[in-house]
Amino acid sequence: MAADQEPHLVDVHVGARIRMRRKSMGLSQTQLADSVGITFQQLQKYERGTNRVSASKLYGMAVTLQTSVAWFFEGMPPEADGEGDVRTQAVRRFLATE
């Protein structure tokens, strides 16, 4: 992703859901990352929406986090396919931060 591009809203949403589920289960980033064979730095990028999660990694996280892959997409707003308004984007960026 080029430095001047914002993360896609879908990636931010999925990342926020990963983070929320991980924290609710009391797992560290390192523990979740190790379970799917990535570094904790890569997991940080997934949780922020900076990098997209591959299908196989998302599936592995779903297994570790004891949920379905579809759960990560629940609650996605209809405007996630487009740009959405500036306020919505700001909220999503905030939710993706540590």
Confidence at residue 87, expressed as pLDDT on a 0 to 100 scale:
63
CB atoms within 10 A of CB 40: 14
CB atoms within 10 A of CB 85: 10
Confidence at residue 76, expressed as pLDDT on a 0 to 100 scale:
85
Confidence at residue 91, expressed as pLDDT on a 0 to 100 scale:
72
94: its two tokens? 């905030």
27: its two tokens? 């797992």
CB 3 within 8 A of CB 86: no
Does the pTM of the predicted model rise above 0.85?
Answer: no
List the chain residues with pLDDT less than 70. Answer: 1-4, 78-90, 92, 97-98
Indicate the SS3 state at residue 74.
coil
Mean pLDDT of the chain: 87
